[in-house]
A = this chain, B = another copy of it.
Amino acid sequence: MVLNGLERFASLSEEERQHLQAAFATRTVPARTSLVSEGDISGTLYLLADGWAFRHQTARNGSRQIVGLALPGDFCNLDVLAFGRIDYGVRMLTAGTLLTIERDKALALGLCYPAIAAMFAQTAFVENAILSRWALCLGRMSAQERLAHLLCEIATRRGDGNGQRQARIDLPLTQEQLADVLGLTPVHVNRVLQQLRGAGLIAMRGRVMEIFDYPGLRSIAGFDPAYLHRESAAAHAIAA
């Protein structure tokens, strides 16, 4: 069963997981597929079984801001549960497989199984905490700090680099997309990446990022993984 591998669902009982699993349809999509456009009316919730996606909004002048990254196991557009109209677009970064479920079905499951509703809510709160931290980064941190912070966040969310000094993570983001996350220009992202590379903290070969000095990155970013609230999920996973 697909959901068994994902720690997000570790708090559910076997029965709940099976009911949820049964409600999903599977869909395979190529990279760059647009799942939802800004302002769309949509009733379908997407769960990433595999691959990466991002949420984005565009400003009046046409520039784009990425307001959320969805990694394997994450929901792409959770607030479709609350709103019919979605005010961000969702697009695949990589090819991947999606589990899709209709809003009404998901809400019905939430009513039948409070643990499922609680899982949705918990997920929403974590997304909230991440956005909150992104606001701090965008508002009050330098380009170097922001980039280092993002790399730390991704490494932690992937489960890599928890304790060890080095890590190698697949980072399917172009420098332009990194720029859209960080509120910078692609040119400047390039320069800051070179700073970090020159300092011996990281290396990049294509879409693979190697972290040589994770404590150093954390120190630059002032990164504290507490805001990701992974301990609760981890605790559930251990208990299961």
Binding site for B on A (CB under 8 A): 39, 55, 57, 59-61, 63-65, 67-68, 78-79, 81-83, 85, 87-88, 111, 114, 117, 120-122, 124-129, 131-136, 138-141, 145, 182-183, 222, 226-227, 229, 232
Contact = CB atoms under 8 A, between A and B. Distances in A.
A115 to B, nearest CB: 11
Nearest to A221: B60
B183 A125 contact: no
Contacts of A138: 135, 138-139, 183
A59 B122 CA distance: 25
Contacts of A140: 59, 61, 63-65, 183
A57 B222 contact: no
Contact of A139 (B79, B128, B183): B183
B57 A133 contact: yes
A81 B131 contact: no
9 contacts: A57-B133, A67-B135, A82-B121, A82-B122, A83-B232, A121-B121, A124-B125, A127-B128, A135-B135
